[in-house]
Amino acid sequence: MNLLLGISNGDLAITAVLTGIGLVFAALLIARLISPRSYSVKKSEPYECGIPTRGESMLQFKVGYYLFAILFLVFDVETVFLYPWAVICRTLGSGGLICIGVFMFILILGLAYAWKKGALKWQ
């Protein structure tokens, strides 16, 4: 792995992040300088297709989203654990395959349980 120009990856990543921040900052600055500005009470209200806002804007949302977030957490961590195995799968051979098979079997069991309990159903 040869690095670009001998600069460390960390420095390059920081450069990229600063470039992104700089892009947003510069564009906002230009927009602030050349865009018109006016103020009215009606304009600063939340947009609801032209009718006046009714009630609180921070309304309750379905618990279903939360359930899927929890399920995602489990399987995302699983994916993270699979990456190192994927890199050295060739050298580990069939022994590694059996070990990861047990790991994946437990997780698939978890998915099957969630499925049976109805966590995957949107209601």
CB of 44 to another protein, least distance (A): 4
How far is it, in rounded angstroms, from Cα 16 to Cα 48?
38
Q: Which of 115, 112, 85, 111 lies closest to 97 in space, CA to CA?
A: 85
Residues 82-111, interacting with another protein (CB under 8 A): 82-83, 86-90, 93-94, 97, 100-101, 104, 108, 111
State the nearest-atom distance from the C-beta of 97 to another protein, in Å.
Answer: 5
CB half-sphere exposure, 87, CA atoms < 13 A: 5
List the one residue from 52, 63, 76, 102 that touches another protein (CB under 8 A): 76
118 near another protein, judged by CB under 8 A: no
Under the binding rule (CB under 8 A), the answer on residue 70 touching another protein is: no
CA distance 40 to 45: 9
Q: How far from chain centre, in Å, is Cα 36?
A: 35
Q: How far is the CB of 51 from another protein (least distance, A)?
A: 12
Task: List Cβ neighbours of 54 (8 Å cut-off, separation of 6 or more).
Answer: 48
Q: x/- binding map, residues 24-63, to another protein, per CB under 8 A?
A: x--xx-xxx-xxxxxx---xxxxxxx-------xxx-xx-
Number of residues counted as binding another protein (CB under 8 A): 72
